[in-house]
Structure 1
Amino acid sequence: MNFSIDLDKQLCFQISRTHQLYNKLYQKPLKQFNLTYVQYITLLALWKEDGVTVNTLSRELDLTNGTLTPLLKRLEKAGWITRERDKKDERRLIVSLTERGKQLQGEITNCTEMCLNEMGYTPEGFNQALANVQDIQNRLKMAIERQAD
């Protein structure tokens, strides 16, 4: 494969730029809930499965515990979640949605769905874009595994 030093032809740069633009697109609708994009995806994970350990959430979001802990503290302080020690194993910290976190799910997801609608995808186009991104992720994981060998 030919390697180009043209920045616009660098896949890594285009993905980074896309990430920045997604954050910007979601910024306005999330602002009304005083949420950041990373806080939003944390809530998404909890809406999918509530009452999970910090380690489970860390794996789901692909965030280190060092990154996740202050984020969870801010969400707890804002009334979105609770963090409680597992009664069966005190070493484990269980993260759960509060009533507020559960009740606002529909309103928040409606706002973020409008962001996706503004991108103008057809359902087929959206599914193809998602499949392409997942393919890139899988290829990156395999490349990282090969480097580790």
Structure 2
Amino acid sequence: MENSKSLQLNQQLCFPLYAIAKEITGLYRPFLDELDITYSQYLVLMVLWEQDGQTVNQIGEKLYLDSGTLTPLLKRLENKKFISRKRKKEDERVVEIFLDEAGKQLKTKACEIPSKIQEKLNLSQNELIELKTDIQKILNRILP
């Protein structure tokens, strides 16, 4: 018989990663509700706050999302007047995303979120850096 112990939930790497991702995302919810955005929308806005005027493909690459997932998300952000989508003049197949004034102003309110999350997790700055480093190491091995 195969080693059935390897199929126990407590033996899996995927389950604690799944559970912690779900729980941490949930910690963001009350703060993001105040801004009237979802966690996915927050991720898109962070990418644009870092560098405005990116293409849908560039944003998708950074967030590991395909355009089928990203497009409805961008439409909702556009409906809320946080972003504008513009087709590139040189190549109309390419859509660039720009922050609107409301999206730029949202950044000031969102700046408090990382420290609030760190406080809820009760992690020191060093623990947080170490955790992110370890997770990024695994992610780099998985992704091309």
Q: Normalization by structure 1: what TM-score?
A: 0.88
Contact (CA 8 Å) 2:6, 2:12: kept in 1 or not? yes
Count of paired positions: 141
Q: Which residue does the alignment assign to 1:6?
A: 8
- Give 3-state SS (helix, strand or coil) of 2:85's partner: strand
Q: Distance in 1 between matches of 2:46 and 2:98?
A: 12
Q: Distance in 1 between matches of 2:92 and 2:25?
A: 36
Q: Which residue does the alignment assign to 2:32?
A: 30
Q: Distance in 2 between matches of 1:110 and 1:6?
A: 40
Identity %: 37
Q: Distance in 2 between matches of 1:17 and 1:8?
A: 12
- Give 3-state SS (helix, strand or coil) of 2:35's partner: coil
Which amino acid letter does the alignment assign opposite residue 30 of structure 1?
L
Structure 1: gaps spanning 5 or more residues: none
Provide closer, same or farther for how the CA distance between residues 136 and 32 of structure 1 changes in structure 2, counting only shifts above 3 A: same
Quote how far apart the aligned CAs of 1:88 are.
Answer: 2.2
Q: CA RMSD in A?
A: 1.6
Q: Does the alignment pair 1:104 with 2:96?
A: no
Match of 1:50 among 34, 49, 52: 52
Q: Normalization by structure 2: what TM-score?
A: 0.91
Q: Distance in 1 between matches of 2:142 and 2:89?
A: 39
Q: For structure 1, which segment, 71-80 or 4-13, has the greater mean C-alpha deviation from structure 2 after superposition?
A: 4-13
Q: Does the alignment pair 1:78 with 2:111?
A: no
Which amino acid letter does the alignment assign opposite residue 60 of structure 1?
K
Structure 2: gaps spanning 5 or more residues: none
Q: Which residue does the alignment assign to 1:117?
A: 119
